[in-house]
Amino acid sequence: MPFWLSFTRVNNLTTPKGETVVVYCEHGPRAGITKFALILAGFTSVLYLEGHMLAWRRAGLPTEKGSTQ
């Protein structure tokens, strides 16, 4: 989910609040906003993707485009 929707759509997530959720953005700052929204919503294990998407792509790992809805 895009970071700008994290506060308004966090309740749409089907992940149980006790499970680990990994957040990321291209470089990191927007992931912090989403992490904050998830913690406020009661998620207890929110982690950053190490190196964020920049490192993911540099490593040649697969990506796919999804809906921002």
Q: How far apart are CA 66 and CA 17, in angstroms?
A: 23
Question: Does the pLDDT at position 69 exceed 80?
Answer: no
**pLDDT tens digit string along 23-51?**
988 877 889 999 999 999 999 999 998 88
For the whole model, what pTM was predicted? 0.78
Closest listed residue to residue 48, CA positions, set 58, 36, 40: 36
Q: Count other C-beta atoms under 10 Å from residue 35's C-beta.
A: 19
What integer best gives the mean pLDDT of the chain? Answer: 88
Across 6-23, average pLDDT: 91
Where exactly are the structural domains of the chain?
3-7+14-58
Question: Does the pLDDT at position 3 exceed 90?
Answer: no
**Positive or negative CA dihedral for 7, 4, 57, 64?**
positive
Question: Does the pLDDT at position 68 exceed 60?
Answer: no
Looking at residue 13, its amino acid is: L
Closest listed residue to residue 31, CA positions, set 18, 21, 19: 21
